[in-house]
Amino acid sequence: MAASLRSTVTVSGSNEFVLNKDKRAVGISSSHGSLSYTPPKSSDHKGRQGILLVERRSSKTHSNFSINAQASVCIPRSMRWWEKSIHSNMNQINSAQHLVDSLLNAGDKLVIIDFYSPGCGGCKALHPKICQIAEMNPNVQFLQVNYEEHKSMCYSLNVHVLPFFRFYRGVQGRLCSFSCTNATIKKFKDALAKHGGERCSLGPARGLEESELLSLAAKKELAIHFPLRSATGNTEDFVLLNKIEESENAALAV
């Protein structure tokens, strides 16, 4: 017996039986027999196995027999809410180094960091509006930071409330930071109207504050060699061994 389970089930070349994904088990019966499928207990069915039970009735002997078969389930996982309606100017941050590089490589472009948590109801409710704003402002770069995956980095950046946003641009570095919800979305729109216009500034992008870079480096989330702005305005590579050791010793003393 051959069985293939995707959004439908096919048994031995017979007709296709559509799976009802909203139920734990599906049953189909006819004059020739019956078929039932019980999905795995895990909420993520992708690549899991379920139980396929086929019962066939013989018209000659009027006897029944059952066959238990293991089959792979290929039902696609539902897209997570923070992955929906994403546009080309919205990027998911995967590490502290990725965040630093993204800010430094943005040039004069306005960059908005969106801190969210998958379990945050306010973040989920606000997400569609942020996506609409991103679509209407293709020249603005949106960086998404998953708080649950990057808690240590968020602590270093002093992000303790969600949803939370930070605006950055070029040599100015951080322009503003605030928390807002659907009810206070005007705060976000006002900040975008104030800082979203085209501008041209001389010099490299500033990115994160030096204290934030030091904190990330002390927690081993960032390489010791990273760019910082010097007093002359040039970007140089500093080896901050002493400062990092001081930060580490202070952290251990607490």
Listed as own residue / partner, the contacts of 191-194 with beta carbons closer than 8 Å and 24 or more positions apart are 191/165, 191/167, 192/112, 192/133, 192/137, 192/140
Confidence class for position 169, pLDDT limits 50, 70, 90 = very high
Q: Which two three-digit tokens encode residue 220?
A: 């081993």
Return the active site residues. Answer: 120, 123
Rounded to whole angstroms, how far apart are CA atoms 166 and 159? 10
Is 59's pLDDT higher than 90?
Answer: no
pLDDT of residue 141: 98
Please state, in angstroms and as integers, the Cα–Cα distance from residue 181 to each residue in 121, 147, 163, 188, 198, following that order. Answer: 10, 16, 7, 9, 26
Tell me the average pLDDT across 225-239.
46
Confidence class for position 87, pLDDT limits 50, 70, 90 = very high
Confidence class for position 201, pLDDT limits 50, 70, 90 = confident
Is 238's pLDDT higher than 90?
Answer: no
Rounded to whole angstroms, how far apart are CA atoms 172 and 195? 11
Tell me the average pLDDT across 119-130.
96
Is 69's pLDDT higher than 50?
Answer: no
Confidence class for position 253, pLDDT limits 50, 70, 90 = low
pLDDT in tens, 10-28: 344 444 444 444 444 445 4
Is 219's pLDDT higher than 70?
Answer: yes
Mention every residue, 6+ apart, whose C-beta is less than 8 A from residue 142. 89, 90, 91, 111, 112, 114, 130, 134
Tell me the average pLDDT across 224-239.
47
Mention every residue, 6+ apart, whose C-beta is less than 8 A from residue 7. 18, 19, 21, 75
Is 120's pLDDT higher than 80?
Answer: yes
State the first-to-last Cα distance of the chain, in angstroms, to the nearest integer. 66
**More confident of the two residues 52 and 111:** 111
**More confident of the two residues 29 and 17:** 29
Q: Which two three-digit tokens encode residue 11?
A: 């048994």
Strands (E), the chain: 3-5, 8-11, 16-18, 26-30, 33-38, 49-57, 64-72, 90-92, 110-116, 141-146, 164-169, 173-179, 225-229, 235-239
pLDDT of residue 142: 98
pLDDT of residue 166: 98
In the chain, domain spans: 3-72, 81-205
pLDDT of residue 211: 93
Rounded to whole angstroms, how far apart are CA atoms 112 and 177? 9
Selected from 3.40.190.10, 3.40.30.10, 3.90.1200.10, 2.170.190.11, the CATH number assigned to the domain covering 81-205 reads 3.40.30.10
Name the range with the highest mean pLDDT among 38-42, 181-185, 221-225: 181-185
**More confident of the two residues 56 and 140:** 140
**More confident of the two residues 137 and 243:** 137
Residues 134/142, Cβ–Cβ less than 8 Å = yes
Average pLDDT in the chain: 74
Q: β-strand 110-116 against 164-169: which pairing, if any?
A: antiparallel
Q: ∠147-163-178 over CA atoms, to 5°?
A: 115
Q: Exposed e or buried b for every residue in 190-221, given b needs 16+ CB within 10 A?
A: ebbeebbeeeeeeebbbbbeeebbbbbbbbeb
Is 95's pLDDT higher than 90?
Answer: yes
Share of the chain above pLDDT 90, in %: 52
Q: β-strand 3-5 against 110-116: which pairing, if any?
A: unpaired
Tell me the average pLDDT across 134-161.
96
Specify which residues 152 forms β-bridges with. none
